[in-house]
Structure 1
Amino acid sequence: MLFETSILSRPGGREVNEDAANWRACAPDSAIWVLADGLGGHGGGEVASQRAVETLLAADPAAEPAWIADRIQAAHERIVAGQNETFELRNMHTTAVLLAAVGERAVWGHCGDSRLYLFRGGQLVEQTIDHSYVQTKVDAGDLQPREIRFHEDRNRLLASLGMSGGVRVTVRPEPLALQPGDAFLLASDGFWELVLETEMEVELAKAPSAESWIAGMHTRLMSRAEGEYDNYTAVAVWVHAGGEQAQ
């Protein structure tokens, strides 16, 4: 398989962008993609997300759930160690979502409310489940999933890298057999809160490239963004058969 990637990250209505995202090609048919949304204020969130991305990209991937869990644990340990460096970093935390592909297999995992979506045949077929208070209300049947975006407690996280008591990681239990035409979207909450899943599908159907898919969703986001809206970041990954155009 070959992979086409596009990344968008903006501060939104804030002065500082505490999101971070990047990717690394490790061989012609393997790569890693990472997104993190920092928390903590006073510059700590920005430091946490950058360090998480650096750590998660540092090792060559294996399309195995244990590899994902180990990398996120390593990033968590780096954040915890950094909390003691200065007073400003004492409360730094970050979410993280990590996707790895090797050959025809992919696996992913996350901590917090940064999400991964998988589209196949143009339709959303899988997405991560947030580690958040509002998600527990959905699980209990007290809220509908669509209500997460507007709930007053939507930013109350139950897990993040740097949280005391250890890190909570959810990993896809089995690697996915990739197919040409598969599309992944990694997104911070500042992005997915303002772009509906049905709109992600609509823009995917119109897009000739991963970059144009991101651009279409960005247009929708900006039509709704107001005031001091959150940082927002998205990573689009398109899967091509070997020999197709990719970048």
Structure 2
Amino acid sequence: MPEPSLLSSDTAIPVVLSLAQLSHAGGRQVNQDSWGSVLQDDLACMIVADGVGGEYGGEIASNVVVNSIMEMFVEEASFGPRALQSYIEHAVAQLQRRQAQIPRLKDMSSTVAVLLIDQKNRCALWAHMGDTRLYLFRQGKLLSATRDHSLIQQFVDAGHCSADQLRRHPRRSILSAAVGVEGSAPATVTQNVTELQGDDAFLICTDGFWEWISEAEMEQAAIQADSAQDWLDSMHSLVEKNSSACNAPPSVPLDNCTAFTIRVADPRPSVPSAYSTPL
């Protein structure tokens, strides 16, 4: 059940969600990314996780994180900051247990981003650890984005680097938070719900995706897309085009690439949409 402090209306008409997803290994032999989505009553949970740094067991770590969060979500079916925090904590505990059980997996870890949507009450919350990102677009314009738990993000915040270094700096993969890392910074969990509108759209993606597409390109693709799948396909084409044009040495394979798009539609016909056709 939703936490008491959240918006509630017995007469609310639930928003409608449209989802699309892709995940591939990029230029690597193993895809260490994982993803999942689950709907329980009028609550939806979407997750993307990325095994960190090519460490042995990265694909296991991301899979444990995703499955642990979905397991806890299905069991509790709760919406709120405390519930979201408990899902992350459950994933941390489950990964630590697996690390202790299998010594060769002791260094495995994963980033994660989680989106919760209460369709009936038309609101959303999210959380993340590491550099797996969540973006919220409204009327095709970027409204909100998570801030990486990374060394370069700290440099940017301190004014030592420009924001574009988040995509290009050679030390951009050094993280300050990840599930499974001893002494990690905690997850960032939104404490206030975001009220949803019928033209909102979310993107959840790993660094293998966002490193190769700018926020301006994401916006342009969102404005032109007719559906979650169209938006994802358009962005992925840009990711492939931009990554192919880079001058990275052949010895550095492109990273795993995973992305999840979620489009929100309001079934009430009187509410205008920024998109050309309804979902």
| Structure 2 unpaired stretches of 5+ | 1-14, 245-249, 270-277
Aligned match of 2:96:
80
Q: Give the whole-Å Cα distance in 2 for the aligned partners of 1:176 and 1:67.
A: 16
Aligned-residue offset at 1:148: 0.8
Residue 86 of structure 1 deviates from its aligned partner by: 2.2
Is the contact made by 1:62 and 1:100 (CA closer than 8 Å) also made in structure 2?
A: no
Determine the structure 1 residue equivalent to 2:52.
39
Letter in 2 for 1:208: D
1:57 corresponds to which letter in structure 2?
M
| Structure 1 runs not aligned, ≥5 long | none
Write the distance in 2 (CA, Å) between the matches of 1:88 and 1:9.
26
Q: What residue in structure 1 maps to residue 264 of structure 2? A: 239
The within-5 A match list for 1:40-55 is 41=54, 43-55=56-68
**1: CA distance between counterparts of 2:31 and 2:268?**
37
Matches within 5 A, 1:1-247: 1-27=15-41, 29-39=42-52, 41=54, 43-58=56-71, 59-60=73-74, 61-102=77-118, 103=120, 104-165=122-183, 168-226=186-244, 227=250, 228-242=253-267
3-state SS of the aligned residue for 1:145? Answer: coil
- Rounded to whole Å, the distance in 2 between the matches of 1:176 and 1:160 is 25
8 A contact 1:38–1:45 mirrored in 2: yes
Matched residue pairs, number? 245
TM-score in terms of structure 2 length: 0.84
* TM-score, normalised with respect to structure 1: 0.94
Conservation of the 8 A alpha-carbon contact between 2:109 and 2:181: yes
Q: 8 Å contact 1:94–1:161 — kept in the other structure?
A: yes
Determine if contact 1:42/1:88 at 8 Å carries over to the other structure.
Answer: no
**CA RMSD, aligned part only?**
1.6
Q: Distance in 1 between matches of 2:171 and 2:243?
A: 19
Structure whose alpha-carbon radius of gyration is higher: 2
| 1-structure distance, mates of 2:158, 2:184 | 25
Percentage of matched positions with identical amino acids? 35
Q: 2:164 aligns to what SS in structure 1? A: helix
1:75/1:167 CA distance change after superposition, 3 Å:
farther
Cα distance, 1:185 vs structure 2: 0.2
